[in-house]
Amino acid sequence: MVQPYRITQPATTDGFEVAIAQFRDTEDVMALLVEIAEWLKSRGSTQWAGLLEGKDSHHTADAIRRGDVLVFKRDSEIAGMVLLLSKPSQWDRELWGDKAFDGDGAVYLHRLAVRRKYARTRLGRTILNWCTSGIHFPGKTWMRLDCIADNSTLNSFYADNGYVYDGANSGFCMYYKAMD
């Protein structure tokens, strides 16, 4: 499959290997997402709760088959992952409205997740920054993402990493950042 992007940095500055998730990674990627959903639930959040019921609104297995999921590994273990879409999903179209259309110059970031044992390594920040500097999508100039509005820590995380607030819709805050 021809990818709509080119990885320009196959490793992060702190030594995590970056790779396109393969079909064989599906179980590990889903386990990582469920791990994070369980952790969020333990903290009183309903974010990603559907994963605990077997519902995956981002159809991660299909995204892996399309090559839209990138994994960050250390010693062959998946430490983190992110889903990057070169075209807006139905969710993105509903949330971003008229800004989201094929050819809009944006990449849509979803499901940034870091295995809990790597939580204090700044891997989340590393992945977020890599998404705008370690991968090249021809014709794309913006990275867009959304997050639940009532999670102040997550909203601060995106703002602190150079993402610009672009309003809220349906209980979600929207952010964007120019790609390098």
Is the distance from CB of 106 to CB of 157 less than 8 angstroms? Answer: no
- Domain locations in the chain? 6-89+101-140
Gap between the Cα atoms of 150 and 92, Å rounded? 19
Interacting residues of 45 by C-beta distance below 8 A, sequence separation 6+: 148, 151
Gap between the Cα atoms of 116 and 135, Å rounded? 25
Gap between the Cα atoms of 140 and 67, Å rounded? 17
Query: What residues form DSSP beta bridges with 175?
Result: 145, 165
pLDDT of residue 42: 96
pLDDT of residue 2: 82
- Homologous superfamily assigned to 6-89+101-140: Gcn5-related N-acetyltransferase (GNAT) (3.40.630.30)
pTM score, two decimals? 0.96
pLDDT of residue 58: 93
* Cα 70 off chain centre by: 9
| Residue in this structure with the two tokens 């509903």, named with its chain if needed | 94
Regions of the chain where pLDDT drops below 50: none
pLDDT of residue 6: 97
